Structure 1
């Protein structure tokens, strides 16, 4: 089976709209609609609750394509490539906005279309160089007319989260090729937490606990395994002797969704037990779009993220972003990106251990989000996402395509498959460090292989031969990029000890180490690392520990195997901080 992946870098032929400067001549265009995206049925694990109340309103984000769709990625690669004259010259908010701005006549056309449908200009805000139109408080009846949609309420089975979505939407024919995406529309899944079943230690024993509602269980770990503590991680990855000196300028951002938030009391108790020289560690909370924060009711995910980024990167400034977005408030991930990209200065490192199966994401939404993540990289942020905890996929991996036909397919996670983030897999053990069987890995169907992987990925495919033909896209972006310890991480939750496993543990560990590398560069008058992948597959390759054993079974198969060089289980390997510092000191 041959795949034809959608390229985020593909350039559509642009038809000038010059001369269409007033609403009146446009009227004949509005009734000629074209489908933008459609699901054939309600996505799995969601149930239809029917139409919302008549007075319901919704906030809409309309993303317009840039006048030069390649310009952003070109600039990102330039500032991320050692040896290029522009290496390290990350772009300002205004410079990025200028690059992603749409043609002026397309913006005029879009505004005329909105005016025709009665959307008052006062409810429209134009952001990011005009590439992003936010419509506030649009009546659902008007949104249905505007997008040829049928918004209804849907509830997620298991979490009881309720969202306002449509199974299909369209746009005027003259505009459809110039709009990247409209959200929220057909994207049901917000970022989910890809982690393992938590285990609680009682009286020295490790016992399986009740499944956390709404979260998929993972492999139950053996009580014979040794806990992975901050002191072990700092020694193993060689950060323990480094003392940060740019804490006032270097920031580590922690993304929080799904009403996940941490507890400062738990952080204090965790540090008292595992890093007593950092008991004053803290974080600042930014609540986005009404995001909640109740430190008396923390979650494993948020505590795991803040406790391990803090334990590795202390005393680096930490910001926890609590983002809301469901029902009428739009998409959580886009709300977070909207806020961060609007900042004058973005955090130099971001830990975001969330993801959903790529096949559940519409191509237009995925491309839009990936482009926004590229903007973060161009601004100088190193963004790390977890590769997931299901190996090559959970269950029988029967996936329904856009035509309604089902087929077996390995299932990578998005946004990990976006080429402009660093995907983090999982390892376990030491001497040697091996792949954790849960480590998500594979090849994107939506995004083609980026140029920085052209030397690393083909050797693996050549050795793989015809095994698994038709189950994966050999031309797709390969994940993960790196992998770190992921098993048996102690955390403190509501003053009680728990042990959790998964790439939601390896991701904050990696983010803490990358934040220290950014501290080193900033304290020496150099630019932060920004997009990591060009470095990892290039000059920093010698600063990684190659993982050559283990596999990631799934989809009723043995999955891929870790081998010398890059592989879709552990990527390029784990991080060696001291070697990376030595390499980066020369650039």
Structure 2
């Protein structure tokens, strides 16, 4: 009898201690200060539906990071042996305990597994829920917050989890993220100042002539930068892609931007006529209700400069990289929210939507450009860390990701304050360009090249040091020398131990762009970034044609060997925050990185012998 009772008691104890029976009180998981220029408008409508994204603790991210560095290090025996989709998923899937505990919590809150959706590694769970259900699940209260520019978001500054889930769930969004991804391209004059009389009509097609052996100075007008100028300056003009199709290039669109095919055709007729067919041939992938609108812009859209960014990206990449196939990813997310809206709207985070989609695809472009960013301190750390970790997954698979370093130097004067309630003076780092698993791109102008600035629109190429991400090991032998050279000049304004950016640069000033059937001139790291993506895509073409793998995550190679193929930029600075900002100087610096690329030297360092030819003007 006693034995039976003991066995029964033991079994009861085991059941009670089973992970699926664990219960614990709610404790705050993450708080984030309300950024400046936002204020609470009122309570969130209880029936407003959000697509909740739950990021689970990955079981072996440290192991994934090890693989990433080994396959990206040119001195390692595994260099170029990129991981497959299944290998990446196996390294990042959550543990069984995490899986069981989280699903038990969701079921206990009335959320049946049949309502859940998962990314391929199953480390992200998404479920559409009304606000009142999310508030119960996260023990919080959502509100409508308004920005001084007129946008609205439904968010909460603080959210909680049962204590036993804190080590199993890394992030839940949308919760306390108030960032507003910004397009990085700037016009010489704001769109509001441009009248139809000031627009430049397209001339009849009369493309500049290519002269074999011609130099960039004779080809380039640095007040009107064209594909021929860029191809000549960076040494790709004589290169004919050998494996288009096996090699591809990509770009990303957010904030309802699209890539207008008719404008692209007009641009190519003028500046790369042999590539005109690409205007209708490039592929568009629509993610989470992204925009692929090809109709005439409305007066309101024209006033807002809609598709300036999208057109700049597509015209630059095709103008340099043709006939390499282009894929444009257009992703919805983070739209303005109208407080009296009665139907569901998408308030998702765009980077997360995009990266979770592409991680589920087997066939991706080997080089992808992104021209959007926001102040790092407005992005919750958990979100930044999780999204940056997802970029590491793409790097491990052999994908090169390029992000613009920003267009406000070290920060726009008047905004250079911490977001921790103390309002301390600071230089403003940007995300996602501060992520250590991507390649950050600054901007230059003129020949010889200097840091890109434009007093007419306030553009200054950005640079700095992350406060979220520590300096990665590939920077350890380079970046400290730069920091030491600064002395106490900017003491307390930046994180001396943070990931420094950008890594490299390219022209980003006065790009000729066709928009709304007219020529406009654009500045920005949103011009230099697609330029770099297109050039590295041509490098990948040469590598693949030579039987070698693509470059993949560029930085370990760049900081160890590749920098020798880049032209150092030593004049100018990332001015801002009422200061001169970080200066360009010999070697790596926090405004142009290692400088600008020269394609033949890159191939030489990679021991690739290109087949030369010539495609058009």
Report the TM-score, using the length of structure 1 for normalisation.
0.89
**What is the aligned partner in structure 2 of residue 216 from structure 1?**
none
Residue in 2 aligned with 1:260? 257
The match for 1:351 among 369, 389, 394 is 369
Write the distance in 2 (CA, Å) between the matches of 1:473 and 1:19. 47
Deviations 1:138-171 (A, max 9, x none): 121111111122223334443x444322111111
Structure 2 counterparts to residues 89-488 of structure 1, below 5 A = 89-135=81-127, 137-158=128-149, 160-199=150-189, 226-282=223-279, 283-296=282-295, 297=297, 299-326=307-334, 327-402=345-420, 404-430=421-447, 432-437=448-453, 438-488=460-510
The answer to whether the aligner puts 1:501 opposite 2:523 as a matched pair is yes
Match of 2:30 in 1: 37
- Asked if structure 2 preserves the Cα contact closer than 8 Å seen for 1:251 and 1:349, the reply is yes
Distance 2:17 2:360 in 1: 30
- How big is the shift at 1:345? 2.2
Structure 2 vs 1, CA of residues 586 and 514 (structure 1 numbering), >3 Å: closer, same or farther?
Answer: closer
Q: Distance in 2 between matches of 1:37 and 1:188?
A: 14
Q: How far does residue 18 in structure 1 lie from its aligned partner after superposition?
A: 11
2:286 is paired with a residue of what secondary structure?
strand
For residues 530 and 295 of structure 1, do their structure 2 counterparts lie closer, same or farther at Cα, with a shift above 3 Å needed? same
List gaps (5 residues or longer) in structure 2. 1-13, 201-220, 298-305, 335-344, 454-459, 610-617
State which drifts further: 85-94 or 238-247: 85-94
For 1:547 and 1:18, the matched residues in 2 are separated by: 66
> Would you say the 8 A contact 1:72–1:100 is kept in 2?
yes
How far 1:382 sits from its partner (Å)? Answer: 0.4
Q: Deviations over 1:351-399 (max 9, x none)?
A: 1011001111111111001001111111111000000011111113442
CA shift, 1:401, in A, is 4.0
Take 1:499 and 1:261, find their aligned partners in 2: how far apart are those partners? 18
SS in 2 for 1:272: helix
**How far did 1:577 drift?**
0.5
Q: State the Cα deviation string for residues 469-523 of structure 1 (Å, max 9, x = none).
A: 1011110000100011111001001111100101111111111101111111112
- Between Structure 1 and Structure 2, how many residues are aligned? 546
Contact 1:164 1:328 in 2 (8 A): no
Q: Is the 8 A contact 2:45 2:131 kept in 1?
A: no
Structure 1: gaps (5+ residues): 1-16, 208-223
Cα distance change, pair 190–336 in 1 and its aligned pair in 2 (3 A): farther
Give the direction of change, closer, same or farther, for the CA distance of 1:104–1:203 in structure 2 (3 Å limit).
Answer: closer
**TM-score for both structures, normalised by structure 2:** 0.85
Describe the SS at the equivalent of 1:122.
helix
Work out the CA distance in 2 between the residues paired with 1:39 and 1:541: 38
Greater shift in the superposed pair: 368-377 or 178-187: 178-187
Return the alpha-carbon distance in structure 2 between the equivalents of residues 455 and 348 of structure 1.
28
Q: Distance in 1 between matches of 2:195 and 2:287?
A: 37
Show CA shifts across 1:41-85 (max 9, x none). x32333434334332222111111222331121111111111312
Offset from partner CA, 1:237-275 (integer Å, 9 cap, x none): 000000011111112111000000011111110011111
Residues in 1 aligned to 2:319 and 2:267: alpha-carbon distance in whole angstroms:
9
Root-mean-square deviation (Å): 2.2
Partner of 2:576: helix, strand, or coil?
Answer: coil
C-alpha separation in 2, matches of 1:151 and 1:317: 44
Structure with greater Cα Rg: 2
